[in-house]
Amino acid sequence: MPANLSPEYKAAEQAFREAKTTEEKLAALEEMLACIPKHKGTEHMQADIKRRIAKLREAPASRPGARSRDIFHVERGGAGQVVLIGLPNCGKSALVGALTNAKVVVADYPFATHAPVPGMAFHEDVPIQLVDMPPVTPGSAPPGMMGACRAADIIAIVVDLAAADALEQLDACLDVLVARNLVPVGRKVARDERDAEGRQLKTALIVGTKDDLPGAPDTFQALKELYGERLPMLSVSAATRHNLDALVAHLFTTLDVIRVYCKQPGKPPDTGAPFILPRGSSVLDMAREVHREFPERLKYACVWGSAKFPGQQVQRDHVLQDRDIVELHIAG
């Protein structure tokens, strides 16, 4: 039986041949597995692709600094990285443009975004990186893009609430992810957490755009009835800025991080650039962020905020809370 390989499969296969790093090869193989026709004539090919995927997952990651041609790799920044995916003209670029200073291309024609465009949004004084991804189409995503989705902290699935096919848009995005063994869930997960079938779980939410247009509120309610118990959902408008602050606040909460301000003895705290730490971090963790030698030289710290009284002396294992001010006392 002929394989009848699709153009999407052949493109992914070419991307695999050109891949230089383990991450690039893994992304291309997963794209090949998702795109290959599922019939008896391709069973041997499917098994071979699965074998190669398993082998690469067991291999160590590519060494830092290795030369890479992966256009989808975006250097992480801020408190966390959020990638936005959606079908053409769903409003991703307008949303990123409204929340950041990124030079996005907002156009009425499809496929205006050809490569990832990162920008920094802010929840109060906490930066959160948003990445506008090229659009997906039903059953297809640009080869290599899923690697960026796997590496991100959160996937924002963007849907045009003013479009008649809003439900089809959402289903198409979910299908593209699940077909590539990425399962969106509505909670924070570990970076490589997997379900019983070995598929990677990824924190996600649904963002409905253009909620200022006629019919959009009704569409959002209909989608919420279908998916509201599965994933968090917000409706926003880049044009009127409705719920944009709420969206960034939701991302901050979902990332589950805290901001901590450093204070030198005898001086006021530096509130201009907080240290961003995972929730549950200790004084010792913060000292490590300030300077790699500080953990060994740390004697104690004074804390304003979560301490029993302002400026209380605490031990190295004291667990910090959001907005704490910390004064580190380091041995000379």
What distance in Å separates the CA atoms of residue 175 and residue 257, rounded to the nearest whole number?
30
Whether residues 168 and 124 fall in one domain: yes
**pLDDT surpassing 50 at residue 68:** no
pLDDT in tens, 134-154: 999 998 888 778 888 988 999
Q: Which phi and psi angles does 305 have, rounded to 5°?
A: 130, -85
Whether residues 245 and 262 fall in one domain: no
CATH code where residue 196 lies: 3.40.50.300
- Is 69 domain-assigned? no
Where does the pLDDT of residue 27 fall: very low under 50, low under 70, confident under 90, or very high at 90 and above?
confident
- Is 1 domain-assigned? no
Cα–Cα distances (Å) from 264 to 267, 270, 319, in that order, read 5, 8, 19
Cα–Cα distances (Å) from 250 to 82, 187, 188, in that order, read 12, 12, 12
Total number of domains constituting the chain: 3
Task: Determine what percent of the chain is predicted with pLDDT higher than 70.
Answer: 93
Whether residues 180 and 267 fall in one domain: no
Whether residues 262 and 248 fall in one domain: no
Final residue before a domain boundary, out of 255, 275, 290: 255
- Is 166 domain-assigned? yes
Query: Per the structure block, which two tokens stand in for 27?
Result: 């992304």
Expressed as residue numbers, the domain containing 216 is 81-255
- Is 73 domain-assigned? no
pLDDT in tens, 151-194: 899 999 999 999 999 999 999 999 999 998 899 999 999 877 88
Whether residues 30 and 126 fall in one domain: no
Whether residues 188 and 283 fall in one domain: no
What distance in Å separates the CA atoms of residue 143 and residue 191, rounded to the nearest whole number?
21
- Is 133 domain-assigned? yes
